[in-house]
Amino acid sequence: MLGNFSYHNPTKLYFGDESLNYLKDELKNYGPVVLLNYGSGSVKKNGIYDEVVAILKEAGKTIVENPGVMSNPTLEKLHEGVKIAREHHVDMILSLGGGSVCDYSKGVAASVFYDGDYWDRFWLQGKHPDAGQRILPIGCILTMAGTGSEMNGGSVITDAEHKFKVGHVFDARLMPKFSILNPKYTMTVPDEQMKAGIYDIMNHIFEQYFSDFDDNTSDYLSEGLMRSLIVSSRAAVKNPQDYEARSNIMWTATWALNTLLKCGKTQDWMVHMIGHSVGAWTHAPHGFCLAAVSMAYYKRAMKPGLAKFVRFAKNVWNVCPDGKTDEQIAEAGLEALKNWMLEIGLPLTISELGATEEMIPGITQGTICYPAGYMDLKPADVTEILKESM
């Protein structure tokens, strides 16, 4: 049964290969000083940076540059961005890049006008900015599909010194005011990042799908998104320049984590909690960290969640139930998932990402545990999952 909820998502989307044309009009809504956050250079190589800067200049904006936002952005870099934004009295933030730059931009937007320790309040305590606190508006030009950050309030930051990666889901005030999604931009994403993004999308759907046994609209939506992703991921891996596949992947990514699927249902998110800690220790791409612990996690979740795993096998992977027990159907579904992961080139172990036995206690310690999905994981269970994922 669907629980009670309110639904409001304020992000305006522009989608398609002409979507950057709308930036000019959007910029009219904001003040003259724009903080331009971007990553480690891909946008300069593929020309997107030049296109965006030309539009900003034509609109008469003062551009404050903040390059070097790394993949899995760090607390140290967050401090730097907050300082720059304060010094230059910026009016808005333009995020040019993947989920990391967008997450980072939200972090800066929330922190610039907060007087206290923003890391402690927003990420460690998980609180929202006070009702009266000023927040900078964000616009996002997305260059990589995966996180859904372009239409949600999530902001994941890594405290590199303490090897602790933690996300906070801010309320609607921190969601981008607009996001520009041009699938063509994603075509220069390195192969392994494309694959990591594909599994990130899949896992966002899993985290909201594998919980409870009630009949709800969200699970039907999830199954449709999963089926689309399986088809388009196969096509994109075969031909990364396939616009149809890349555009479907981009759109699926947005819907996988834009606050819709979770409406009225319980969620899991423990693969993400373990994956974040693996990422803090290995610096591997986020989607790879999730992939590498998934088989061990879902095999364990299958028993308490059997009916849902049977449904997953039948509705997503077309497993024929004839002559099989429920366990056999569910196992066949997980086998199909594993085969798809191997087919598109995802890592199935954390050792492939550079994790060692010696890291397991630290990764366990950095994993935030809570009862979720079909299990109530304790640190000892996390350790076992990590060992099984080696």
Between 184 and 204, whose beta carbon lies closer to Zn ion?
Answer: 204
Q: In sequence order, what are the residues at sequence separation of 6 or more whose Cβ sits closer than 8 angstroms to the Cβ of residue 129?
A: 110, 114, 122, 135, 170, 173, 174
Question: Is residue 150 a contact point for Zn ion (CB under 5 A)?
Answer: no
Between 160 and 348, whose beta carbon lies closer to ligand NZQ?
Answer: 160
Question: CB 149: neighbour CB atoms within 10 A?
Answer: 30
Between 30 and 170, whose beta carbon lies closer to ligand NZQ?
Answer: 170
Question: Is residue 149 a contact point for ligand NZQ (CB under 6 A)?
Answer: yes
- How many residues comprise the chain? 390
Between 163 and 324, whose beta carbon lies closer to ligand NZQ?
Answer: 163
Among 22, 31, 40, 383, binds ligand NZQ (CB under 6 A): 40
Pick from 351, 158, 381: which is nearest to 274 by CA?
Answer: 381
Between 209 and 317, whose beta carbon lies closer to ligand NZQ?
Answer: 209
Question: Is residue 221 a contact point for ligand NZQ (CB under 6 A)?
Answer: no
Question: Is residue 100 a contact point for ligand NZQ (CB under 6 A)?
Answer: yes
Between 196 and 332, whose beta carbon lies closer to ligand NZQ?
Answer: 196
Cα separation, 356 vs 228, whole angstroms: 35
For the bound state, the minimum distance from the C-beta of residue 285 to ligand NZQ, rounded and expressed in Å, comes to 6
| Six-digit token string for 296 | 């061990």
Question: Is residue 98 a contact point for ligand NZQ (CB under 6 A)?
Answer: yes
Among 11, 19, 66, 71, binds ligand NZQ (CB under 6 A): 71
- Residue pair 203/271 in contact by the 8 Å Cβ criterion: yes
| Six-digit token string for 18 | 């002409």
Phi/psi at 105 (nearest 5 deg)?
Answer: -60, -40
CA 289 centroid distance within chain = 12
Q: Which residues in the chain belong to E strands, given as ranges?
A: 12-15, 33-38, 62-66, 92-97, 138-142, 154-159, 164-169, 178-181, 371-372, 375-376
Number of residues that bind ligand NZQ (CB under 6 A): 35
Residue type, 245: A
For the bound state, the minimum distance from the C-beta of residue 99 to ligand NZQ, rounded and expressed in Å, comes to 3
Question: Is residue 103 a contact point for Zn ion (CB under 5 A)?
Answer: no
| Six-digit token string for 367 | 């994993």
Q: Using CB under 6 A, which of the segments 186-194, 209-217, 239-247, 380-388 binds ligand NZQ?
A: 186-194
Measured at the CA of 319, the angle between CA 318 and CA 322, to 5 degrees, comes to 125
End-to-end CA distance of the chain: 38
Question: Is residue 200 a contact point for Zn ion (CB under 5 A)?
Answer: yes
Q: Taking CB within 5 to 8 Å according to partner kind, which of ligand NZQ, Zn ion, none is near residue 211?
A: none
Measured at the CA of 4, the angle between CA 316 and CA 303, to 5 degrees, comes to 40
Give SS3 for 12. Answer: strand
Between 124 and 169, whose beta carbon lies closer to Zn ion?
Answer: 169
Q: Using CB under 5 A, which of the segments 46-54, 157-165, 193-201, 341-349 binds Zn ion?
A: 193-201
Question: Is residue 37 a contact point for ligand NZQ (CB under 6 A)?
Answer: no
Site for ligand NZQ in 257-276 (CB under 6 A): 257, 272
| Six-digit token string for 226 | 């999963």
Question: Is residue 168 a contact point for ligand NZQ (CB under 6 A)?
Answer: no
Between 67 and 137, whose beta carbon lies closer to ligand NZQ?
Answer: 67
Under the rule (CB under 5 A), what is the footprint of Zn ion? 200
Under the rule (CB under 6 A), what is the footprint of ligand NZQ? 39-43, 46, 71-72, 97-101, 103, 143-144, 146-149, 152, 154, 156, 167, 185-186, 188-190, 193, 197, 200, 257, 272, 286
